Amino acid sequence: MNVALPPFKERARAALADRTLKLAIDRTTGTAEAKRAAAVAAFPEFDAARARGRAIKDHVIANLGHYLEMFERNATASGAHVHWAVDDAEARAIVTRLCLDAKAKVVTRSKSMLGEEIGLPHALADAGIERVETDLAEHIIQLAGETPSHIIWPAMHRTREQVAELFNASHQPPPEADDPATMVQSARRVLREKFLGADVGISGANFLVADTGATCTVTNEGNAELTTTPPRVHIVTAGIEKIVPSTAHAMALLRILVRSATGGELTQYTTFHCGPKRPGDADGPEEMHIVLVDNGRTKMLAGEFREMLRCIRCGACMNHCVVYRQIGGHAYGGTYPGPMGSVLTPVLDGLAAARDLPNACTMNGRCAEVCPVGIPIPTLLRAWRRRSWRERLEPGALRAGIGLWAQVAYRPALYRLASRIGVRALRAFGRDGWIGSLPLAGGWTAYRDLPRPSGRTFMEQYRDQQKGRK
């Protein structure tokens, strides 16, 4: 969905220069990191729970066909209609048609990253349907005309002051103060009317439970249930990898999902939606539709990115990523930002368009350390880098430079000579023990200083030390 964005490097540069953005990112990711650490510390069995979660996801992925058919059978038996979409365009078309068939004027939506992935917001607008985002953060970015910058906190790039400006301009009457509590009350009042007047409610799914045919949503605000209960039609869009064998398996995953995402133990509302309103039910939708979306997932299943299908979308990788915390989510340019997004965006948007993302990684491994289902994100990013090199997607100057370096590196004597010259030459740029600027390396030294080298290479010092031992 990155239509006509400037290149990644320009986006990243703009983000780095934005002090307000940095402040906003720090406020939320800092809290998230601390809360997750506390939740994990209070759960001594967390590592065992992670191992179980990983095993459950691997089992489902290895038997995905079996479970998809089981889910379809049981969801259909519950009275839901199951639809299949090969790609984003098909998924958009199905949802739009369902809304038009329902003669929908107003559609409420409960936050779903898959909905963003398939471009649902634009599709509904193009169909002339009023879309009301009900998650507080999604409400904020809808008012701002933006896309999510984080998969758990879509509006984390906005400070409270910026949110207050948006609410003052659009809420009638505007909130009386700009503290979060007053602004949340204002959104509650504004959205309450919308919930009860909607024709269709659209949600995503955190899990699809194969043996009951239920879809599961988790929210803290209660907006999912207010989205899915009053309208006549409930539509679920979900990726095919969201399947779990049973409710008990979902419980095992919930324990690690919520702790990794927000540091809570469970979200305030964990809801299983199983078919439309039953005869005699006090409330609920008359129709339920579930759209199962592939959009690149079977391609991942067949290739070297299969492990990424374990992802349960907790966002811990981005909260702990040194790059994400500097540039925020929008600079990545895809639906999914941060480390997990850098693996997924090349699948969704193509490697040629997203080649910079696997490279915008320091390989410090924090994402893999905190991933609740043990996805080796750095390894997967390296796989994209290798493929990018194989497919000759790097610019010519870069390829030539690396080629030249390789020629030298293949010849140890030459390499040592070059190192000896280099390390002595670098000393000439040192001031007070540090190198603050360097010709041709401004991109590096603009943001950090290098320690002035000792003037002798590692190999020289090692040789002397070995001599001394004799």
Using CB under 8 A as the binding rule, the residues of this chain from 149 to 178 that contact other proteins are 153-156, 159-160, 163
Contact 186, 174 (CB under 8 A): yes
* Three-state secondary-structure class, residue 253: helix
- Site residues for other proteins, 328-357, by CB under 8 A, read none
How many whole angstroms separate alpha carbon 81 and alpha carbon 227?
Answer: 18
Q: Which of 281, 403, 413, 451 binds other proteins (CB under 8 A)?
A: 281
Is 379 exposed, middle or buried (CB count within 10 Å of its CB: 0-12, 13-18, 19+)?
Answer: middle
Q: What is the DSSP string of 107-119?
A: EEE---HHHHHTT
> 209: closest CA among 176, 252, 179?
252
Q: Which of 6, 126, 268, 391 binds other proteins (CB under 8 A)?
A: 268
Using CB under 8 A as the binding rule, whether residue 38 contacts other proteins is answered as no
How many whole angstroms separate alpha carbon 155 and alpha carbon 196?
Answer: 25
- For other proteins, the closer CB: 215 or 388: 215
Q: Which of 37, 48, 402, 446 binds other proteins (CB under 8 A)?
A: 48
Using CB under 8 A as the binding rule, whether residue 51 contacts other proteins is answered as yes
- Site residues for other proteins, 184-203, by CB under 8 A, read 184-185, 187-188, 191-193, 195-196
Q: Which of 8, 11, 15, 28 binds other proteins (CB under 8 A)?
A: 28
Is 433 exposed, middle or buried (CB count within 10 Å of its CB: 0-12, 13-18, 19+)?
Answer: exposed
| Phi, psi angles (nearest 5°) of residue 214 | -90, 155
| β-bridge pairing 214-219 and 269-273 | antiparallel
Residue 236's DSSP bridge partners are 203, 290
Q: Which of 102, 133, 134, 380 binds other proteins (CB under 8 A)?
A: 134
Min separation Cβ 430 and other proteins, Å: 42
Using CB under 8 A as the binding rule, whether residue 308 contacts other proteins is answered as no
Min separation Cβ 93 and other proteins, Å: 11
Look at the alpha carbons of 121, 124, 126, 130 in this order and tell me if their dihedral is positive or negative. negative
- Site residues for other proteins, 53-92, by CB under 8 A, read 55-56, 59, 61-66, 68-69, 78, 84-86, 90
Min separation Cβ 244 and other proteins, Å: 9
Using CB under 8 A as the binding rule, whether residue 387 contacts other proteins is answered as no
The size of the interface with other proteins (CB under 8 A), counted in residues, is: 104
- Site residues for other proteins, 204-233, by CB under 8 A, read 211-212, 214, 220-223, 225-226, 229-230
